[in-house]
Amino acid sequence: MVVEAATVQEASAAEVLQSLPDSTCYTSASALATGLAVPRPVVVSSLEQLALDALVEAELASDATIVVGFGGGTAVDTAKYVALRTGKDAVVIPTALGGLAPFSTEVARRVRRQISWLGDLSPTVMLDFALLAAAPPMRSRAGAAEIVATLSASWDWRLADARGHGLPVSPRLVGQGESLRRRLADAAEDIRAGSTEGLRALAALLAELGAAATDCGHRRLMDGSEHTFAQAFEHRLGRLPFYGATVGMGTVAMTALQAWFGLSAGGPVDPQEAVDLLNRCGVAANPHQLDIDEGTFRGLLRHTVRFAVGEFLPYSVLNEADVNYSASDEMWRWCWRVQRVA
């Protein structure tokens, strides 16, 4: 079955919710705090498969015809999972642009705190920019890290292709990633300010990145060692404080490792590009803001290497580079070049 990219529309969240009385709305406490009337709200907080399957059973017994995800990434991913398993249509209304989830057709779940992809589903995405602008700016800024992640992910992809692992690299897609980062830089000040213009620009970039992944059928353009770092964080320590921000820190750390590894099949890479983009967009990826000290960071790096190899994740710098004390020290110093933001 051919899955099309998510359909993105601009609409009033209040009007959309009011027009869907025969739906089940998977949401969060913070989304309910907006005061909007939510039909049949189900507050969710976990993407673990056991919790999701319980929701699927309840949904199958429900007379709802549409599944709505209203909130952040957890609410959106829950709605997509339930819709895929029940065959119902999915409508997602994000309250922040903290990640790629609203714009991706991929359906995620967690099995023992590890992300696993179940399938694909084309949701209808409703963007209410007044609602998005009302969220704390730090939440939506974090979505910029998904665009920045194409820097380290593309390097990993080139390395894997040169070593004969996985899909051949696509110069067109790598070039698209470079274009996305340039346009992110152009809109960085607006994104940092949380203005409507910045939110529109970030939403357009995330939608394009999600569509690119759908069209090519894989995530190599934006999912490399930096996302492995975020997954290993969650696997080791539990729920992430801020998903997008952790991906941002992972991107800085992994580009530093790639540069430390030296000019190789992955090509040249400059971690300063990741630092500059995160700083200009105001992504809270500084270790202090993620409550990560140096000892925890070094432990996470060791776990990230084991996680990447042990779980047979796509080939990356983690399969070749020696993440020794000197390398981790260099990565840690680079991470501290990301500014703390309010």
Question: Distance between CA atoms of 223 and 251, rounded to whole angstroms?
Answer: 10
- According to the model, what pLDDT value does residue 67 have? 97
Q: How many angstroms separate the CA atoms of 118 and 29, rounded?
A: 26
- pLDDT at position 29: 93
Query: For the domain with range 7-134, which CATH number is right: 3.40.50.2000, 3.30.300.130, 3.40.50.1970, 3.30.559.30?
Result: 3.40.50.1970
Which residues on adjacent β-strands are paired with residue 70?
27, 93
Instruction: List all residues 6 or more positions away from 143 whose beta carbon is below 8 Å from its beta carbon.
Output: 96, 97, 98, 99, 100, 202, 206, 244
pLDDT score, position 114: 67
Do the two domains 7-134 and 137-335 of this chain adopt the same fold? no
Domain 137-335, CATH: 1.20.1090.10
Q: What per-residue confidence (pLDDT) applies to 1?
A: 47
CA-to-CA distance for 330 and 114, rounded, in angstroms?
28
Around Cβ 56, how many Cβ atoms within 10 Å? 16
Q: What is the pLDDT of residue 28?
A: 94
Domain ranges of the chain: 7-134, 137-335
Running along the chain, 342 residues long, what does each successive block of 10 average in pLDDT? 78 96 95 94 92 95 96 94 95 96 87 73 95 94 97 96 95 97 98 96 97 93 96 85 92 96 80 98 96 95 93 92 94 98 88
